[in-house]
Amino acid sequence: MSKTFEDFDFNRQVLNAIADAGYETPTPIQEKAIPPILNGQDVLGIAQTGTGKTAAYVLPMIMKLKYAKGNDIRGLIVAPTRELAMQIAENVKAYSKYTDLRSYVIYGGLGPKTQIEEIKKGLDILITTPGRFMDLYLEGYIVTKKLEILVLDEADKMMDMGFMPQINKILEVVPHKRQNMLFSATMSERIEKLAENFLLWPTKIEVTPQATPATTVAQELYHVPNFKTKINLLKVFVEDDESVTKLIVFCRSRANAENVYKFLLRRFNDKHVKVLHANKGQNTRINSINAFKNDEVRILVATDVAARGIDVSNVSHVINFDVPVIYEDYVHRIGRTGRAYNLGKAVTFCNPAEEYFIQKIEKLIRQQIPVQTIPEKVFIEETPYEERQDIAKEIDLQKRREDPEFKGAFHEKKTLNQKNKFKQARAKAGGVKMSAAKKKKYK
């Protein structure tokens, strides 16, 4: 018999907030994580995105902290991106609505003045990105003496983004006696090492095998020769496929995201499509997410900054315009659809240089992505010379990565030898001219 939220040791305030959120039965991660967290144990959670892990740690945190107390924070949640931090903050507000607990979110990219004022008023739960937390802690605005619960969410992403020094500093400045939780979608060696340093006899919870895509997501792969043909294929999805009701298009770089966005903007207008990447201002990013969340726009073009933690319901499709080079990001990207047991589709466009990454991703997820044929109506463009060169260079680089002895067309030593030969030839030619000039001078 499956559990209900009534089976946990939650008070009426928390249960009413859960009912308002429309949750009826706990997800597997919630069922496994809530009891040990309520019991005060350290928890290591391996859970893919979209499994309800935020509620798995926020609900028991609210239950344990119960009511507003003093001025200094007692619960701290650290997340890698401002978007995820804001998402968690929304959940904390929703789940604590019938309590007097005070929560607030801080992140970089904005002036700290308002954030400092809110902290001074007194807080129970602080949600933060690592950099902004350390900035305000070192300036004396955040006091950690009363901290009881610390959560590191999306710890693998924090490592990928180079936040390890800040995480280590945070661990140095919080009390030793506290309850810790670490959540990650993947379990790499680095995460295991962090868990050893950070958690004390943790309860390990793994609701699905590591880096396994949700079973509610149908995956498809198209082999596409170049950027322009990818654009032509994208056009078919956004214009002709009626099942594409809400779409996120993921690009590897800001430049590609801008180019795809501009193309879609010409086809539609900004009432249908928004773009999200790190070059955009903070307000623009917030507005883009909110417009997409509230169904004001149908398409969101994004880099991987948006791949984690953005909980948007009813995303029908994810299109990987570029294959991610951080293989775990594939799981996070496609986890934006098929959430909360809804069905979704994830489509990946792959050029010849990206086939290498697809093989690595398939190894990671332990399954093959079904390959589809490009529809006849899609015009296959000729690959321009520069793009052809870039693809060839990338393939050479991949082969060298697998076999250090490989000498490709773009091998560095070979290129260096060519340069040296050219210099010698030029010097020789120069030398001949000089000696001829000297001869003339001394005749």
CATH number at residue 76: 3.40.50.300
CB atoms within 10 A of CB 311: 18
- Is 307 part of any domain? yes
CB distance 306 to 276 below 8 Å: yes
Give residue 91's domain range.
5-206
pLDDT score for 417: 59
- Sign of the Cα torsion 205, 209, 211, 216 reads negative
Total domains, the chain: 2
Q: Are 292 and 188 in a shared domain?
A: no
Considering 332, 355, 383, which residue would you say is the last residue of a domain? Answer: 383
**Tokens encoding 277:** 């990447």
pLDDT over 60 at 171, yes or no: yes
pLDDT over 90 at 136, yes or no: yes
- Collapsing DSSP to helix, strand or coil, 125 comes out as strand
pLDDT over 70 at 290, yes or no: yes
Judged by phi (left if over 0) then psi (alpha if -120 to 50, else beta), residue 50 lies in left
- Is 424 part of any domain? no
**Tokens encoding 59:** 């609900």
pLDDT score for 98: 94
Average pLDDT over residues 233-245: 92
Quickly state the pLDDT bin for 305 (edges 50, 70, 90).
Answer: low
- Extended beta strands in 153-264, E state: 179-184, 203-206, 217-223, 247-250
pLDDT over 80 at 358, yes or no: yes
Q: Are 177 and 258 in a shared domain?
A: no
The rounded distance, in Å, linking the Cα atoms of 365 and 16 is 38
Considering 366, 383, 400, which residue would you say is the last residue of a domain? Answer: 383
pLDDT score for 342: 78
- Collapsing DSSP to helix, strand or coil, 184 comes out as strand
Q: How far, rounded to the nearest angstrom, does the alpha carbon of residue 282 sit from its chain's CA centroid?
A: 17
Range in 120-129, 344-353, 356-365 the model is least confident about:
356-365
- Is 395 part of any domain? no
Alpha helices in 302-411 (DSSP H): 328-334, 355-365, 385-402
Q: Are 59 and 135 in a shared domain?
A: yes
pLDDT tens across 389-422, in order? 999 999 988 887 777 677 666 554 445 555 566 6
Question: What are the backbone dihedrals phi and psi of residue 274, each rounded to the nearest 5 degrees, phi first?
Answer: -130, 160
The rounded distance, in Å, linking the Cα atoms of 287 and 276 is 10
Q: Are 149 and 261 in a shared domain?
A: no
Q: Are 158 and 237 in a shared domain?
A: no
Q: Nearest 5°: CA angle at 353, between 320 and 188?
A: 65
- Is 304 part of any domain? yes
Considering 206, 235, 270, which residue would you say is the last residue of a domain? Answer: 206
Q: Are 177 and 277 in a shared domain?
A: no
- Is 257 part of any domain? yes
Quickly state the pLDDT bin for 286 (edges 50, 70, 90).
Answer: confident
The rounded distance, in Å, linking the Cα atoms of 24 and 5 is 7
Cβ contacts of 47 within 8 Å, gap of 6 or more: 29, 53, 56, 183, 185, 205, 206, 207, 208
pLDDT tens across 17-50, in order? 998 877 778 888 899 999 999 999 999 998 866 6
pLDDT score for 52: 80
Q: Are 169 and 237 in a shared domain?
A: no
Average pLDDT over residues 328-352: 86
Q: Are 252 and 296 in a shared domain?
A: yes
Judged by phi (left if over 0) then psi (alpha if -120 to 50, else beta), residue 370 lies in beta
pLDDT tens across 65-97, in order? 999 999 999 999 999 988 889 989 989 999 999
Average pLDDT over residues 149-159: 90
pLDDT over 90 at 303, yes or no: no
pLDDT score for 443: 44
Q: Are 308 and 264 in a shared domain?
A: yes
Q: Are 194 and 221 in a shared domain?
A: no
pLDDT over 90 at 195, yes or no: no
Alpha helices in 124-200 (DSSP H): 130-138, 155-160, 164-173, 189-198
Evaluate if pTM is beyond 0.85: no
pLDDT over 80 at 123, yes or no: yes
User: What are 250's strand-pairing partners?
Assistant: 302, 320
pLDDT score for 206: 86
What Rg, from alpha-carbon coordinates, does the chain have?
26
Quickly state the pLDDT bin for 128 (edges 50, 70, 90).
Answer: very high
Strands 344-350 and 317-320, sheet pairing: parallel
Q: Are 186 and 232 in a shared domain?
A: no
Q: Are 87 and 148 in a shared domain?
A: yes
- Is 303 part of any domain? yes
Output the CA–CA distances (angstroms, integers) from residue 267 to 236, 245, 249, 271, 294, in the order listed. 12, 16, 15, 11, 22
- Sign of the Cα torsion 42, 73, 147, 167 reads positive
Q: Which amino acid is at 69?
A: K
Average pLDDT over residues 262-284: 80
Average pLDDT over residues 110-132: 94
pLDDT score for 191: 84
Nearest to 374 by CA among 220, 219, 218: 220
pLDDT score for 379: 95
pLDDT score for 432: 44
- Is 420 part of any domain? no
pLDDT score for 402: 76
- Is 341 part of any domain? yes
User: What is the chain's mean pLDDT, rounded?
Assistant: 86
